[in-house]
Amino acid sequence: MNSEEIIAKAREYSINEENDIFRSQVEALIGENDLDELNDRFYTDLEFGTGGLRGVIGGGYNRMNSFIVRRTTQGLANYINKAVGKKNGSVVIAYDSRHYSDLFALEAARVLCGNSIRTFLFTGLRPTPELSFAVRLLKATAGIVVTASHNPAEYNGYKVYWSDGAQIVAPNDTAIINEVRNVNGTPHAMDRDEAIARGLLRMIDREVDDAFVAMVKGCSLRPELMLKHGRDFKVVYTPLHGSGAMPVERSLREMGVDVIFVPQQKDPDGAFPTVEKPNPEEPPAMRLALELAGKTGADLVMGTDPDADRLGIAAPDGGGFTLITGNQLGALLADYILSSRTERGTMPRNPVLIKTIVTTELQRLIAQSYGAACIDTLTGFKYIGEKIREFESRADGPSYVVGGEESYGYLVNTQVRDKDAVSAAAMAVEMALYHRLEGRTLFDQLNLLWQRHGYFQETQINKYFEGQSGLRTMQSLMERLRTAPPGSIAGIRVVCIKDFRDHITRCLPEGKTEKDITLPSSNVIQFLLEDDSIITARPSGTEPKIKFYASCRSRPNTPQERARREVGTRVDSISDALNKLIAGA
């Protein structure tokens, strides 16, 4: 795009954008003739994809701002009115603590009301799982949550949910995307007070909060244990300046457990001043919580991200606290829930655990040990929500019991259809308390699972590709992995390659290729090695990066010290090999 085209797009945007803050940013750049910055803001449009919107906040077509939110919402409104008829649609909107989240939520509500769609807007920030729950509770056509999840402070985003409470999937996703692309000009947005007066906009809070907290408490498998011993169990919790404080604290308090907040991180703050990234996956984000746990003698440490759909925990381990990975917590939760249901006779018929293709195989082995099936989905919780809906549509279908993904997302109920860190936090506290009363730590229980099923260790390597040139490099690397795959990785022979884009599996020793992958097409490549290690390459759906996942395991009943040493060495070797592969991109 040449300089004249860039300036023309920038001027067009400044006409369309009604928000003074975002418009003035672009006008200042035009006045300064800052072509590099203008190019970054206008070389492409921030695209509404199957995961919604996510981008850096600011003026421009390649930024998150009021105009982009209005245009996206107009496309969604057009689709809703076609799908259910004008004046029959309804949408619930929630938002987290990020900069401009409240503004973007209101802008979306005003556009929906301007299209005669009844809208429920939370009066203050609420977590993503409560939005999913509210869509189902209020029998809405769709839902919107304004959040960029765990991304740095300069980002914001916008996710769309359908009437089942899950993020949109085919065919709704592509149909909405097409409607968004066809929107021209500046959509009409009804005045807030007019929308309320006409009954199109309804503000919600306590009535949904009460029902959501009741649901969280209802997930408990041993409520009597929590009420009897909960006050003796110390939990340090940080919402990382996000939306989890109210629902997590209230749910646990009503179940019998008092929460000790990290005071510096309790209040909502879109700048996330105490962390580089508000992500419980990142050890630095949990530093203050771990320090407080040491001072207070806590029994468990927990953290949730800004929209409270991801949960990270740490537990005592040999005198200090050790963070538990997403794969490990998922395995512990699966084991606790399945064993408790078995013991209490509440296991449903045809029980199923659902995990993603990059989540540890340890969870499959745990599920099978309790007579439950394990089903894989593509990465993205929307696919887990889709599977639950599919199960419910079949009279004799499987019964979802528990599931999740390695990136700290878990679902321990079916009344929410997305990652639910609030319910998972309550379940994690109950689980840790149960094991303590049985004389075990969470790490003791992990060791038992590893002894029984084999020691598992996972790692993840992220490679960022910024800007236009970075996108081309990322695409080239994925294509090279597909067309000229390595025959071995870290000296370990590749025996099978799964290409989830083309639905094919290539078994290298036999030289056989089969079109046997039934999951939706996705730009993911997976390498199975002869020692049972699994390596997966997948471009992120929300950031300009490729994620490489590696999982290695030992044989069951291998002495723990030896298993850890051997598996750790393999993980290190594979990590080195992947870094070299990335460096050559």
- How do residues 381-433 score in pLDDT, each as one tens digit? 999 999 999 999 998 889 999 999 999 999 999 999 999 999 999 999 999 99
Question: To the nearest whole number, what is the mean pLDDT of the chain?
Answer: 95
| 222 lies in some domain | no
Rounded Cα distance, 375 and 134, in Å: 27
The pLDDT value recorded for residue 468 is 66
Can you tell me which residue has the tokens 């009301």?
Answer: 113
In the structure, what pLDDT confidence band is assigned to residue 122 with cuts at 50, 70 and 90?
A: very high
CA end-to-end distance (rounded Å), the chain: 25
pLDDT tens-digit profile of 41-58?
999 999 998 779 999 999
For residues 448 and 330, the answer to whether their CB atoms sit within 8 Å is no
pLDDT at 9: 96
Are 417 and 545 in the same domain?
no
In this structure, are 19 and 154 located in the same domain? yes
CB distance 424 to 416 below 8 Å: no
Check residue 28 and give its pLDDT: 98
- Give, in order, the Cα–Cα distances in Å from 138 to each of 9, 202, 316: 41, 12, 41
Answer yes or no: is 401 within a domain: yes
Share of the chain above pLDDT 70, in %: 99
Write down the pTM of the prediction.
0.95
CB 80 within 8 A of CB 91: yes
User: DSSP string covering 313-342, please?
Assistant: EEEEETTEEEEEPHHHHHHHHHHHHHHHHH
CA neighbours within 13 Å on the CB side: how many for 248?
A: 35
Q: Which long-range contacts (CB under 8 A, 24 or more apart) does 171-175 make?
A: 172/79, 172/83, 173/50, 174/50, 175/79
- Tell which of 321, 344, 372 closes a domain: 321
CATH number, domain containing residue 565: 3.30.310
Over 70: is that where the pLDDT of 325 sits?
yes
Residue 67 counted as domain residue: yes
* Residue 296 in domain: yes
Return the bridge partners of 409, or none.
405
Return the pLDDT at 575: 96
Domain end marker among 321, 339, 372: 321
Tell me the pLDDT tens digit for each residue of 15-51.
999 999 999 999 999 999 999 999 999 999 999 987 7
Q: Do 429 and 257 contact (CB within 8 A), yes or no?
A: yes
Local confidence band at 112 (pLDDT 50, 70, 90 cut-offs):
very high
124 and 172 assigned to the same domain: yes
Q: What is the pLDDT of residue 542?
A: 60
d(C-alpha 279, C-alpha 275), whole Å: 9
- The structural domain count of the chain equals 4
**pLDDT-derived band at 541, boundaries 50, 70, 90:** low
pLDDT at 1: 78
Q: What's the pLDDT score for residue 373?
A: 98
Q: What are phi and psi of 123, to 5 degrees?
A: -75, -20
In a domain, 189, yes or no: yes
Which of the residue ranges 87-91, 176-180, 507-511, 559-563 would you say has the lowest mean pLDDT? 507-511
For residue 539, list its beta bridge partners.
Answer: 546
Predicted pLDDT of residue 53? 94
Query: Cα-flanking dihedrals φ and ψ of residue 206, to 5°?
Result: -60, -40
The answer to whether residue 226 sits within a structural domain is no
pLDDT at residue number 471: 77
Q: Count helices and strands (H / E) in the chain.
A: 19, 23
Residue 584: pLDDT over 80:
no
CA-CA distances (angstroms) from residue 425 to 72, 244, 325? Answer: 33, 10, 14
**Domain ends where: 264, 291, 321?**
321
What percent of the chain lies above the pLDDT cut of 90? 91
For β-strands 90-95 and 142-146, DSSP reports them as parallel
- Does one domain contain both 302 and 441? no
Residues annotated as catalytic (active site), given as ranges: 149
Show the tokens assigned to 551. 């999982």
350 in the same domain as 288: no
Largest CA distance in the chain: 71
- Both 314 and 371 in one domain: the answer is no
Query: Are 369 and 486 in a shared domain?
Result: no
Residues 259 and 135 grouped into a single domain: no
28-32, 185-189, 373-377, 472-476: which range is least confident on average? 472-476
| 209 is a domain residue | no
Whether 352 and 448 share a structural domain: yes
- 417: CATH: 3.40.120.10
375, pLDDT greater than 70: yes
Q: Phi and psi for 260 in degrees, rounded to 5?
A: -100, 110
Could you tell me the two tokens for 256?
A: 């019998």
- Please check whether residues 52 and 161 belong to one and the same domain: yes
User: Residues 355-372: pLDDT tens digits?
Assistant: 999 999 999 999 999 999
Average pLDDT over every residue of 541-568: 90
According to DSSP, residue 264 is labeled G
Q: What is the pLDDT of residue 50?
A: 79
Q: Are residues 464 and 439 part of one domain?
A: no
Query: Residue range 552-579: average pLDDT?
Result: 96
User: Which tens digit of pLDDT belongs to each residue from 448-485?
Assistant: 999 999 999 999 998 887 766 777 888 888 999 999 99
Q: What is the dihedral sign for C-alpha 332, 333, 337, 340?
A: positive
Range of the domain at 395: 327-453
CA contacts within 13 A on the Cβ side of 93? 30
- Say whether both 377 and 295 belong to one domain: no
3-state secondary structure of 259: strand
In a domain, 349, yes or no: yes
- The residue among 329, 289, 357 whose CA lies nearest residue 522 is 357
Cα 108 to Cα 75: distance, rounded to the nearest angstrom: 11
What confidence tens digit (pLDDT) does each residue in 263-300 have?
999 999 999 999 999 999 999 999 999 999 999 999 99
